Every structure is written in structure tokens, then in C-alpha cells.
């Protein structure tokens, strides 16, 4: 048997097509991504505060950017990232106190993180828009 025939007859190792990501692994990755997104969102928040302190002209520019549909979409994403990262931190705190280590508890807390972050973000924006 040649070297080429040996390579063809070997079984392939599982890859992304057959491997199902656990929800906890997905939440770990999303937690890190939202942490990075918060750095960039905080720069935008700092720009808004500096513009407010700089005077009406600078604030009008920042207000126009954040008041546009794309600006509001970015602010909505920043709000979701903040809430999701907060709930992910609470998930880790639960583990730090020694609770929630069973598979069902881990999965339930991870799903609560996703559902809670979306629901709280929508609730925060609904309250904010209602007050406005």
C-alpha cells in the first residue's frame, strides 16, 4: 500500500460540520467579544462626554452622529454588549461561589444570559424612548 492509499483510508477527525458547540462555550466566546466591543463603545461614550464639555458646536456634531439611525444602532449594540457582559460576569460570580456546576445548571444559566441580555436591552431602550 502506497503512502497516498494510507492517507485516503484513514478516518477523518470530527470537524465543525459534525461537532456541536456547547452553549457554555458559545457564551465564553461572546463574553470575550462583548468585552472587546465595550472598549470601542467606551471610546464613543468618551467622545460624547468630551463633545458635551467642549461646547454646543461639538455637541451638535456628536448628537447628529448618535441621533442618526446608524448611531442608534451602534448605541443599541453597545447597550446589549454592556448588559450581556454584565450578566456574563454574574454567571461567573455564581460559579465563583461554588454553585451552578452541573450540566443542566450551566446550560440554564447560559441561556438565561442570552435571553436576559436581549430582554433587558429592549426594556432599557423602551424605557429610554418612553421618557424621551
- pLDDT tens track for 56-109: 999 999 999 999 999 999 999 999 999 999 999 999 999 999 999 999 999 999
Whether the predicted pLDDT of 6 surpasses 60: no
DSSP 3-state assignment of 21? coil
**Looking at the whole model, is its pTM more than 0.75?**
yes
C-alpha cell at 91: 454567571
- pLDDT tens track for 32-64: 999 999 999 999 999 999 999 999 999 999 999
Report all structural domains of the chain as residue ranges with CATH numbers, in order of start. 22-131 (1.20.1300.10)
What pLDDT band is residue 1 in, cutting at 50, 70 and 90? low
Exposed / middle / buried, residue 85 (Cβ in 10 Å: 0-12, 13-18, 19+): buried
Amino acid at each position: 500500500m502506497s503512502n497516498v492509499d494510507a492517507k485516503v483510508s484513514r478516518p477523518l477527525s470530527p470537524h465543525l460540520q459534525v461537532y456541536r458547540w456547547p452553549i457554555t462555550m458559545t457564551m465564553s466566546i461572546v463574553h470575550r467579544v462583548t468585552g472587546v466591543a465595550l472598549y470601542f463603545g467606551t471610546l464613543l461614550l468618551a467622545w460624547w462626554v468630551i463633545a458635551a464639555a467642549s461646547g454646543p458646536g461639538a455637541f451638535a456634531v456628536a448628537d447628529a452622529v448618535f441621533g442618526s439611525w446608524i448611531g442608534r444602532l451602534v448605541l443599541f449594540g453597545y447597550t446589549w454588549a454592556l448588559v450581556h457582559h454584565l450578566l456574563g460576569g454574574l454567571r461567573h460570580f455564581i460559579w465563583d461561589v461554588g454553585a451552578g456546576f452541573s450540566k443542566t445548571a450551566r446550560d440554564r444559566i447560559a441561556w438565561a444570559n442570552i435571553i436576559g441580555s436581549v430582554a433587558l436591552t429592549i426594556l432599557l431602550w423602551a424605557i429610554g424612548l418612553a421618557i424621551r
